[in-house]
Structure 1
């Protein structure tokens, strides 16, 4: 008995030694190519329609809450709410959480997989079963109880498991960057919509001012007709101009309501419970935005960071495909007790087995080579997409610089046109009142003045939206340092078995929305310009 125990001890020691040796060798060989960031050559003094230039980032560079530069408390309130409660943004946060869990799943393969088992059964066979001889005295009833444990572990000789884990970590980092892209997109869309709505308010003020002026013109033509000074056609022309302008204003209000509904959805509010009080003019300040070095631009764009992480992930996939050409070694062991009663703890009732297995592919018809070649192709594809994203980033910046510069000039030119058209309108009306011209000249001057004023407001609105798009093109204050590192990606501790419903925040992504996300009514804040919608039905 003691000899058997000694042999068992020696076997266990041998197995433990093999496991320790494998642990020492595991992960020694990394078959993934050495990864390097792609570096591109940029022209001396970046040329284009805009004014992009080399220079260190200045105080004018966008910060995290970039919308505060427009000095609008209501916009600040809406942006803050959208950043917390927008459903599309919360869905993107859950995508990041799922990527973190996939990373934890991949990392779990590095550890031994330990399981336990227990069972009991009662078994009875027929006394007249096949091959039971006449007069046999063997038992027809037997009970069995057993319990035991098993362990299985695959040493990571070729870093296949580690590369899978790193792939998932890089996928999670890409998901965090995608979340930043979604957040910036929602923030910029909200700011664009809000500025469009304020532009509509300013257009409404222009229409109202013109309607009051045209109403006076109708009265003048009616008085002149009553005095037999003017023909009835003048009254008709004046009334036509008034009614057409009123119709244009009504159409504008319909479009404003639709825009208001879009804003309500962005801030997780039912449109029926949301209304923004109108104003009479555009009050946003002009913002001077620093561009900086091309290299810093790439660090501040979350879509570029996502494309780069996807490229790094594809690089690790090459290592996984290469590892498939080498032997896969697995160690396993099982031990336990079995008896037909409750004396399971006796050595005589023990059972065990342990094994080591190595599998080496010899011939698979080119399957492994096809997988490796596909991995290289996917890496080059990711590299091409990264370059395309970089080019798109510079295009966005150049577009923003060109638009902000040209629209600023255009706004000044429209301002001069408005001044001239208003002078013409007033002088023409004075001439008509004095009987020195016909009313057709008045109508032409009125149309020109209204067109110029509406065009000026539209250009100012487009200018503010171009500023928003330039800030978005520059990353909106985000930078690659906000990506979670590998330690932060793990959503729970190794021995954590509670509080798993909501993971701890990482990379600025928090999925704990609370009960507020279920409330689709925004509280009325008249001081900030939010009220209950008017009853239009």
Structure 2
């Protein structure tokens, strides 16, 4: 009899070791990031360096890319206090950003719920039942009379799933990957919001510049109309020139109203980005100035870490990989441990007497260890579906990387070509202004008709408007490049 405790102890140790080994088994595939084709350098960046080898990068900081790095306030590189304040307001009140933050909190709660599977579930209950058993259940004849009884119960129950093949762990991994994906999507929404605010801001200022040009044109046309009216009264010109002058003045005023309409729409869009009603937001006129900020692009490989949408696509792959583990675990046994202990009595007064104690080890119905044998191919189909979803996420990830490379190249090309286009356009503006001055002088001397003056004034307005649009486009392209690069990082 003295060997019995030792034998029981040895069996218990063996059972514990076997259980530990089974728990350590995981059928989830090891996740590795898929390879993607990555160029050594951006093509358009190389072309830009050939044109401008000395680039001022004092307004920016390059940092080693890593997901844990603090994403800096990249808009500070523009040196615009108004833009800085707008970005702050948007971060505090934008509703899309708040929705993204709520999704992050939801995913964190789901992760906590999944982690609860690592621990046993314990419940307590109290109540009464009124029951009457059939004669057959008491091994009596069918015509025997049974009696009804009331049973009072107070008990605690515990249940725990032994994670034999990593089912619970895979469930946690899915939740963690979903949480990381939602966090990356939050940063993507934040970056998009910051870029949209900056672009809307520069667009508004570009409209302000157009309004300034049209107002100046209206003033010029009004002065010209006075001159034409004076010459008409003196009989130097006919009524046709007077009608043309009035037409040009009315057209300039109409175009000015059209730009004001576009500006109002842009102002309303900016108000919504800031989380405000358009009626409560007024943006003062501020004509745009040329943007001299240069953005260091770094290496293409940095995009794999910098861009939050790429990080989100990668986390979607990790979640799909964990889903494969979940689908595989359905093919293996599942062990559920259950226990209950408490008191059971026929009267409430005797409920907590020691003699009324009761316990139950194992499931009330069924078995603790279950092994699936046949389900008509349901588990096999689930595994095939999980693998297909993983392949889908891999393809989406690689496509997202390629799209990121394209967006950077597009905006680099825009900035490089816009620089050349603006230089040529400034020359065109200077030439058109000189032409307009010469035509006015010749008209006042009677050498040319008023139609030539109108054409020259129109050309000045068109070239200046085009230069204004190019300035706005250049500012927006700079913002788009920052967004394509994943924002600016610095040390917190």
- 1:263-282 equivalent positions in 2, closer than 5 A: 263-279=270-286, 281-282=287-288
- Kept in 2: contact 1:70–1:284 (CA 8 A): no
Does residue 115 of the first structure (1) align with residue 123 of the second (2)? yes
Which string of whole-angstrom CA distances, capped at 9 and with x for unpartnered residues, describes residues 99-119 of structure 1?
111111111112111111101
Does residue 29 of the first structure (1) align with residue 40 of the second (2)? no
Q: What residue number does 1:327 align with?
A: 333
Q: What residue number does 1:214 align with?
A: 221
- Kept in 2: contact 1:337–1:350 (CA 8 A): yes
Q: What residue number does 1:442 align with?
A: 453
Does residue 410 of the first structure (1) align with residue 406 of the second (2)? no
- Alignment gaps of 5+ in structure 1: 1-8, 126-130, 483-537
Q: What residue number does 1:285 align with?
A: 291
Q: What residue number does 1:150 align with?
A: 157
Is the alpha carbon distance of 1:84 and 1:369 closer, same or farther for their aligned partners in structure 2, counting shifts above 3 Å?
same
Shift in Å at residue 123 of structure 1? 8.0
- Kept in 2: contact 1:50–1:405 (CA 8 A): no
- Kept in 2: contact 1:33–1:319 (CA 8 A): yes
Which string of whole-angstrom CA distances, capped at 9 and with x for unpartnered residues, describes residues 295-327 of structure 1?
112210000000000011111111111111111
> TM (normalized to structure 1)?
0.80
- Kept in 1: contact 2:42–2:299 (CA 8 A): no
Aligned residues: 460
1:394 is aligned, of 385, 405, 427, to: 405
Does residue 465 of the first structure (1) align with residue 490 of the second (2)? no
Q: What residue number does 1:73 align with?
A: 81
- In structure 1, how many angstroms separate the alpha carbons of the residues matched to 2:282 and 2:22? 63
Is the alpha carbon distance of 1:101 and 1:16 closer, same or farther for their aligned partners in structure 2, counting shifts above 3 Å?
farther
- 1:32-431 equivalent positions in 2, closer than 5 A: 32-47=28-43, 51=47, 60-61=60-61, 64-120=72-128, 143-279=150-286, 281-283=287-289, 285-341=291-347, 342-355=349-362, 357-431=368-442
SS of corresponding position for 1:241: helix
- Kept in 1: contact 2:411–2:480 (CA 8 A): yes
Is the alpha carbon distance of 1:460 and 1:169 closer, same or farther for their aligned partners in structure 2, counting shifts above 3 Å?
same
Is the alpha carbon distance of 1:16 and 1:178 closer, same or farther for their aligned partners in structure 2, counting shifts above 3 Å?
farther
> TM (normalized to structure 2)?
0.87
Is the alpha carbon distance of 1:145 and 1:42 closer, same or farther for their aligned partners in structure 2, counting shifts above 3 Å?
closer
- In structure 2, how many angstroms separate the alpha carbons of the residues matched to 1:52 and 1:429? 42
- In structure 1, how many angstroms separate the alpha carbons of the residues matched to 2:180 and 2:104? 8
- Kept in 1: contact 2:206–2:469 (CA 8 A): yes
SS of corresponding position for 1:146: strand
- Alignment gaps of 5+ in structure 2: 50-56, 63-70, 134-141
- Kept in 1: contact 2:123–2:157 (CA 8 A): yes
- In structure 1, how many angstroms separate the alpha carbons of the residues matched to 2:78 and 2:120? 56
SS of corresponding position for 2:26: coil
- Kept in 2: contact 1:146–1:339 (CA 8 A): yes
Shift in Å at residue 21 of structure 1? 5.0
- Kept in 2: contact 1:96–1:179 (CA 8 A): yes
Is the alpha carbon distance of 1:15 and 1:345 closer, same or farther for their aligned partners in structure 2, counting shifts above 3 Å?
farther
- In structure 2, how many angstroms separate the alpha carbons of the residues matched to 1:49 and 1:295? 14
- In structure 1, how many angstroms separate the alpha carbons of the residues matched to 2:488 and 2:442? 56
